[in-house]
Amino acid sequence: MIKPHGSTELKPLYVADEGRRAQLIAEAEGLPSIVVSSAAAANAVMMGGGYFNPLQGYMGLADALSVAETMHTADGLFWPVPVLNVVPDADGITAGMRIALKDPNVGGNPVLAIQTVESVETATPEQMELMTTKVFGTTDEKHPGVGAFNSSGAVLLSGPIEVLNFSYFEVDFPETFRTAVQIRDMIKANGWSKIIAFQTRNPMHRAHEELVRMAMEREGADGAIIHMLLGKLKAGDIPADVRDASIRTMVDLYFPPNSVEVTGYGFDMLYAGPREAVLHAIFRQNMGATHLIVGRDHAGVGDYYGPFDAQAIFRDQVPEDALELSIFEADHTAFSTKLGKVIMMNEAPEGHTPADFVFLSGTKVREMLSNGEALPEEFARPEVAKILMEHYQSNA
């Protein structure tokens, strides 16, 4: 199986030993505590599950700035975005202390992890601006990732963590949430050696479905893992439970049995375009996938990034030896009325025009579903469209 990023074995930070975990939970009751940001909580979940291997905790200022500038930590580990625990103020926390990190996304704010604080550092406005610009490519506060990144404060608490649970993800998505450890175990059980990963924060339409099928066929893959984000999204995005139901329906009805696994991970979307695409590649390698599909506007939002910037970063900025996972570059896919099937548009035979493809804007899709209008079968499977229609009509 493909090696994890940065180490020979996966090093998840979740405390699996029940005795040790019970000790830490008891210890947490007597520790100073803070309610962390949703982003910091998601980072803890990802480190706990092994997705952020080989990180052992939150980055300090030197690593955060180095990662933003060079996509490497100060000691040379390839990494595309800072992984931080940022707070508005330190509030009496000093280096050497152990603190309980409380979950902002669960009622009663239970302890999510314990952190041994190595440093307490305040980033200057200039340093925050540098990190924002490098990671997101913009400082526009209307960008949802920029707004979230700059709303938590500028005090960085660095140091290793021990993760005690996986927040709300295990409870809310018991059939879908899986750690990198669990997915590696699943891959072994399936006997797969070449695995396609498909990232999604949206339901999957016909074009997405066919893209997974194309990648599997062209790479000679044993199987595919549809890996959906289960964490916080921007306003207007479809909730995870609706996406989960629609994707499972599509897989059950339109893929051969035991060829595709539907799973999810606990992370808040950054909408960081190219940099986030590289992060996606790292944690897909950590979960055991050998290939990641990177298509049009991967991890993007609005018009902040070019349509294929997320592919270009792997060619232009990612060192050849940085990753073992391979990128499957995909063009925009759409249903060709001339050919009667979904194709990549850059592979369309000569003579195709935009009028020969079935396109629907997101706005048009939402409008049709809210009005109870069926989507064209060339665009969405009817069983998937029904699930989405019920969601939109119930929230109209």
Q: Does domain 175-265+273-394 have CATH number 3.40.50.620?
A: yes
Cite the residue boundaries of each domain of the chain with CATH code 3.10.400.10.
18-167
The predicted pLDDT at position 327 comes to: 98
Q: Roughly what angle, to the nearest 10 degrees, separates helices 382-394 and 362-370?
A: 70
Give the position of tokens 């005090």: 155
The predicted pLDDT at position 361 comes to: 65
d(CA 331, CA 334): 10
Q: Which CATH architecture has domain 18-167?
A: Roll (3.10)
Q: Is-catalytic flag, 371? A: no
Cite the residue boundaries of each domain of the chain with CATH code 3.40.50.620.
175-265+273-394
The predicted pLDDT at position 362 comes to: 65
The predicted pLDDT at position 66 comes to: 98
Which position among 184, 201, 206, 284 bears the catalytic label? 201
Instruction: Give the residue among 313, 304, 246 at the shortest CA–CA distance from 280.
Output: 313
- Residue partners of 119: CB distance under 8 A and separation at least 6: 60, 61, 95, 156, 157, 158, 159
Is the bond preceding residue 82 a cis peptide, omega within 30 degrees? no
> For 64-115, how does the pLDDT look when each residue is reduced to its tens digit (9 = 90+)?
999 999 999 999 999 999 999 999 998 899 999 999 999 999 999 999 999 9
The predicted pLDDT at position 306 comes to: 95
The predicted pLDDT at position 395 comes to: 75
339 three-state secondary structure: coil
Low-confidence ranges of the chain (pLDDT < 50): none
pTM for the whole thing?
A: 0.94
Which position among 21, 109, 202, 248 bears the catalytic label? 202
The predicted pLDDT at position 45 comes to: 98
The predicted pLDDT at position 396 comes to: 64
Cβ atoms within 10 A of the Cβ of 362, count? 9
Q: Is-catalytic flag, 366? A: no
